[in-house]
Structure 1
């Protein structure tokens, strides 16, 4: 291959990866915005309502992410099938994803319903516990449409149709905002439902999201001469098991990662209110920047999967490295911003001098781990494109739970470093995880390309 040809292929890969990544990144930001809209819209009801929505969403978050994680195997299975031009297999995998959603939704809903009853018994302020339980008991009815949306989204991403996902999230956020305005405060003749109205608005928005994506999938495939529901596949226990074998480790990886940060937040509650507030602010910025490599990660899974399905392992390797370049490049820039202007960023939330004394240093730590967070996130997606989901789960379990959190607790509570100790431990975890996953991607993609070890 000549140098000019190689450069042309890299440019072509960059355009394809960017076209996949940008809509997915916007969708991840839209997912994050949905919870922010709920919090903002109940703000006028008082701090108890804000706390109730925050607690309800926090409890709902991990089980729902586990359900969504089980569907991540569709990234691999659909993209491989699409890469080899097997459209019937794409449809069959979507059908099995829908069946899996119908299996896992009821137990998740029962678990969340039980969780909503214990708020009053675990030390949460009664003024928050009651509304939080009400909020969660309404929100759980959005679980089935949320997971149906997840299955349809993975299918559409797998066949390269990603723009509609972004459009759907924009419309869902507008619908959620309007529903909040109507149902929380009793506009247009509707009853004033308070925080329950906010939850109901979110449920309605999620029903709309699921209907929109399934409807688009049907329309898209009909226009291509591959009717989606013609010959809809029957349940296949073998295929569902195959999907779970891929999805369960991915779900475990998500729970391990999110659980580690949630435990750090819970632990910060034992520190001073100033340290807890500073932790919350810094984490909000880290979560915001994380959405970009998370979207690139999904694009990497699809790009690599298409190439593997087409039997073009060198292109799969190029796609993965291109995604890593995009994700880590953005996180480098994000780290520069966090490093350069920490005080103005903290001031967006508060100018309290006690928080301003602690916050900038914490953002400097966040700046230090941005690149590592980008590497581990995009590597996870690239490996998923190869069909590898166990290694990221193991890396997260070891990195966070065997190394990072214990180190953070020792620094925080035993060595009296406070919230800085927690974040140093988490940073070490990210270094360990990113290094191991980058090595695994390099090795696995090289082997797939036929270049040996």
Structure 2
């Protein structure tokens, strides 16, 4: 528990800081106007699933680096990171171009005329930060993989005041700048992405901990073999994270037809849930590193033990956060907005959001542990089934139709999230048990070869 906590605590503080930036966006846009809040909510729902998916692809660098580090082959991890930078820039370029063609989607969503220009302004501003955040994901994943989680914590904590000042200037129009309202959140986020990248670049270039990997002392052109190695693991991880993130984005887009009050309340509940989710997510990321190091050192029993210890830790914490959310829902919402209509929607949704936190904890830690085993393809299939085969159809039926019950609005989608996340947690927990048990059994088989003169290391080779 100590070892996991040493890795997880800096990651958690980093995740909370990143979530705090989203909280600042939501809070400041909400205090500007309900239209500004709705525009920022729709804009973030359109782009952040792709940003998070990109982070998932680059997350493949962490388990690869962790296993190389555990095996004492750090220079090979540096090679992977250099190839990952090329991949990051390629995907960032695609996203930069694609985000400018959302007009048909906004029409399809029946987005209100007052909100459309806010959404487009938000997306334009944030797009200029895509190359920076993509490269940041690579460097962060490499630094995590070698077992250093404190740098991202320090950088993320420093980013919070930067993001606040940028929002204050651009949303409300200070120091001679025009008041951009909700669109200012996008421009502030783009600037914040560059701050993230430059700070991590300074650390990676100057840190003795990163020197053995020789990330910047060598130059490699894109390699088909290197990129294939990265994408083989990264695409399923990115796809899994995209499945999770996009389901929330789709819900926001479906709710857009119900007006800015419902969207605003939904966004507040979603933002707070993201803050809480950062805790099990951080433990899961720590398990990626911990299990990766153990697997690289051929300690499969230690890897399995660490994984299930981390899962139990996250489940225990989720019982506390669940209770806290139910007790203080009204006080939590009051931090975000003073609008009584938006507050009423948000409080009712937070009650539903609290109920899936236990399942969320199992899902997040199991996913992180499975990444340490480089087990990503089955995870992607299980997540797709839970979210897109079960959650979204059920949520749409409950929220927007009268097929099962009278249309429930936003509450129907949140009820379906409870079902989807619970199923996902069960699926992934069973998969982790299967994969980790198989790893221990394989080692036991290899050890048994010693009596015939062939040791486990030779047999593995």
Q: Does 1:445 align with 2:431?
A: no
Instruction: State the distance in 1 between where 2:33 and 2:339 align.
Output: 21
User: Which residue of 1 is the match for residue 456 of structure 2?
Assistant: none
Q: Which of 248, 265, 281 in structure 2 is aligned with 1:294? A: 281
Instruction: State the distance in 1 between where 2:258 and 2:32 align.
Output: 28
Say if 2:398 and 2:412, in contact at 8 Å, map to a contact too.
yes
Stretches of structure 2 that go unaligned for 5 or more consecutive residues are 446-461
Say if 1:185 and 1:192, in contact at 8 Å, map to a contact too.
yes
User: Which residue of 2 is the match for residue 395 of structure 1?
Assistant: 382
Instruction: State the distance in 1 between where 2:438 and 2:209 align.
Output: 38
Q: Does 1:171 align with 2:158?
A: yes
| 1:299-345 CA-partner distances (Å, limit 9, x unpaired) | 11111111111111111112211221222111111122234444554
Q: Does 1:244 align with 2:231?
A: yes
Q: Which of 344, 366, 372 in structure 2 is aligned with 1:385? A: 372
CA shift, 1:223, in A, is 7.7
| 1:185-214 CA-partner distances (Å, limit 9, x unpaired) | 5544x5336256543333232212112112
Stretches of structure 1 that go unaligned for 5 or more consecutive residues are 1-13
Instruction: State the distance in 2 between where 1:277 and 1:40 align.
Output: 10
Q: Which has the larger displacement, 96-105 or 284-293? A: 284-293
Q: Could you state the TM-score of these two structures normalised by the residue count of structure 1?
A: 0.87
Say if 1:168 and 1:213, in contact at 8 Å, map to a contact too.
yes
Instruction: State the distance in 2 between where 1:221 and 1:396 align.
Output: 39
| 1:388-415 CA-partner distances (Å, limit 9, x unpaired) | 1112211111112222333333444322
Say if 2:237 and 2:376, in contact at 8 Å, map to a contact too.
yes
Say if 1:391 and 1:437, in contact at 8 Å, map to a contact too.
no
Q: Which has the larger displacement, 280-289 or 112-121? A: 112-121
Say if 1:304 and 1:317, in contact at 8 Å, map to a contact too.
yes
Instruction: Describe the shift of the 1:422–1:193 C-alpha distance in structure 2 as closer, same or farther (beyond 3 A).
Output: closer
Say if 1:221 and 1:227, in contact at 8 Å, map to a contact too.
no
CA shift, 1:148, in A, is 0.6
Q: Which of 413, 422, 427 in structure 1 is aligned with 2:413? A: 422
Q: Which has the larger displacement, 157-166 or 318-327? A: 318-327
Say if 2:300 and 2:436, in contact at 8 Å, map to a contact too.
yes
Instruction: Describe the shift of the 1:268–1:181 C-alpha distance in structure 2 as closer, same or farther (beyond 3 A).
Output: closer
Instruction: Describe the shift of the 1:436–1:340 C-alpha distance in structure 2 as closer, same or farther (beyond 3 A).
Output: same
For residue 81 of structure 1, give the secondary structure of its aligned residue in structure 2. Answer: helix
Say if 1:119 and 1:133, in contact at 8 Å, map to a contact too.
no
Q: Which has the larger displacement, 121-130 or 393-402? A: 121-130
Q: Could you state the TM-score of these two structures normalised by the residue count of structure 2?
A: 0.86
Q: Which has the larger displacement, 330-339 or 32-41? A: 32-41
Instruction: State the distance in 2 between where 1:87 and 1:67 align.
Output: 24
Q: Which of 319, 322, 347 in structure 2 is aligned with 1:335? A: 322
Q: Which of 74, 78, 94 in structure 1 is aligned with 2:61? A: 74
Say if 1:142 and 1:207, in contact at 8 Å, map to a contact too.
yes
Instruction: Describe the shift of the 1:113–1:191 C-alpha distance in structure 2 as closer, same or farther (beyond 3 A).
Output: same
CA shift, 1:435, in A, is 0.9
Instruction: State the distance in 2 between where 1:354 and 1:48 align.
Output: 14
Q: Which of 288, 296, 299 in structure 2 is aligned with 1:309? A: 296
User: Which residue of 1 is the match for residue 145 of structure 2?
Assistant: 158
For residue 319 of structure 2, give the secondary structure of its aligned residue in structure 1. Answer: helix
Instruction: State the distance in 1 between where 2:209 and 2:281 align.
Output: 31
Q: Which of 241, 253, 256 in structure 1 is aligned with 2:243? A: 256
CA shift, 1:77, in A, is 0.8
Q: Does 1:130 align with 2:117?
A: yes
| 1:329-384 CA-partner distances (Å, limit 9, x unpaired) | 11111122234444554555578887787766654433332111110111001000
Instruction: Describe the shift of the 1:131–1:409 C-alpha distance in structure 2 as closer, same or farther (beyond 3 A).
Output: closer
